[in-house]
Structures are given as structure tokens and as C-alpha cells.
Amino acid sequence: MVRAYESSALDGRVSLRRERVFLGASLLLFIASGAETISSCRSMSGGMVMPGDWTMSMAWMRMGQTWLSAAVSFMEMWVVMMAAMMLPALVPALLRYRVSLRGLDTVPLNGATALVGAGYFFVWALLGAVVYPVGVMVTNTEMHSPTLARSVPLIAGAVLLLAGGFQLTPWKARQLCLCRGEANCESTPCPDARTALRYGLRLGMHCLLCCLGLMMVLLAVGVMNLGAMIVITAAITVERLSPSPTLVARTLGVVMITGGVFVIALSASHASIF
């Protein structure tokens, strides 16, 4: 019995040390991705001033690059940015996933965790692959249409209204519940590589659907807007970890709608002056 107790205590210390290493590695990854994102935002802080007194983000400009190299640069920036924004909400989910597999001695825990993370960020990379050509197309249209360019602040306000309304819907509450359910490992995760990857893909898809409104806001106010990134990262994290997620989501919705009304009113007053 004494040997069994000593063995159990040793296993507990090993598990604790293993999770400390995981948490430390996650913190380093968050710091590195955050630092790279800040650097990217600063390097793209300039832009083209457009009719309507707003600045077009350099993220959609080729800057002398070929279309392929510009797309690759955007995807690299996007994946790093998503890592910085999503890790605070993802790490607790990965930690619970690791705990759920702790009793399975044949499972390579770090490998399974890496596959879950790879599947999760692959989903966000796919979103970036869709966002980039759409963003370039919209940017080119705005550059050739002064009327549309002057309407961009008004459109941004409308997007805030739409995203805020989305936060108040039962569909949002359902997606948030599904996302938190996956993160809490309510569905029993399987120990092999294929199912670990599928679990990460499923977790990423639920997270993406849950974050649609907040991502709409980020794209509307500027994909390289550092302040918006910080606020949206905090909002996503609180939604995932709060004991009252629906209340948090609806509160964010009211704030977004209020902001949308303010932006629309400001845009209308500015247009009337000119």
C-alpha cells in the first residue's frame, strides 16, 4: 500500500510538471505570437487616406509583391494573429483535453495536443484564405469608387449593428454552448491521431461559428487595428470562460449595437458637413 501511495504521488508530481511545461510552452507561444502581431500592426500602421476621412489598411495592398507572395504574407500574418487572439481561450480547452487523456498510458499526450491545436488553427487558416481575396476585391472596388469609399464608415456602423444583433440571437447562444461543450470535453475524445485531429477541427469550427460576430467587427474596423484585436481577444476569452456566457454575449451585443448607432450617427453628421 505504501508503494502504491508513493507511486501515485510520483505520478501526480510528474503530471503536474508535465502540465507546467505545457502551460509554459503555451505562454511562450502567446508572447511570441503577440509580439509578432504587434510588430506587424506597427509596420502596417500607415495606409491610404480615402474619401470619407478613413484610412485603408495596408494588409490588402501588395506593396510591390506578386499576388502569390502577398497572399502568403497575409496568411502568415493571419495565422500568427489568430494564435495571439485565440490562445487565451484555447489553452484551457487543451488543458482539459490533456486531463481527459491522462489515464491512457499508450497515448502520446504532447503529440495528441499538437494535433488538436493543428486542427483548430487549420480552421482559422481556412477563414483567412477566404477573407484575403474578398478583402482585396473590396479594397480594389473602394479605390475605384469614391462614392463607395465615402460610404465605408457608414457600412462599418451597419456591420456593428448586424454583429451586435447576432450576439443577441438564440443561434449565437447555441453556438456558444456547443463551443464550450467541446472545450469541456463533454464528448469523449478518442486517443488516436486521426480522431485527435478531427477533434481539433470540430473545436475550431464551433469556435469560428461562435466568433462570427466578433470577427465581423474586427474586419469592419480594420484587420490590423491593434486596439480592436485586444478588445475582441478579451471578449472571446470572457465568453468562453465566464460562468454566465450568454449574459456576456448579450452584453457585448448591446455594446456593439450602441457603437454601431454612434458610428452611423457620426458618419451621417460628417457627410452632412461636406
CA distance 255 to 265: 15
pLDDT value of position 55 = 65
Q: What is the mean pLDDT of residues 160-175?
A: 92
pLDDT tens profile 111-157: 889 999 999 999 999 999 999 998 888 888 877 777 777 778 888 88
Please say if the pLDDT value at position 11 is more than 80: no
* H-assigned helices in the chain: 2-43, 67-100, 109-143, 146-167, 170-183, 193-210, 212-221, 226-241, 245-273
pLDDT value of position 9 = 42
pLDDT value of position 201 = 94
Most confident of the ranges 31-35, 55-59, 188-192:
31-35
pLDDT value of position 21 = 85
Mean pLDDT value across the chain: 82
pLDDT tens profile 20-55: 888 999 999 999 999 999 988 887 765 665 655 656
The DSSP code sequence of 61-89 is --TT--HHHHHHHHHHHHHHHHHHHHHHH
CA distance 117 to 83: 10
Please say if the pLDDT value at position 16 is more than 60: no
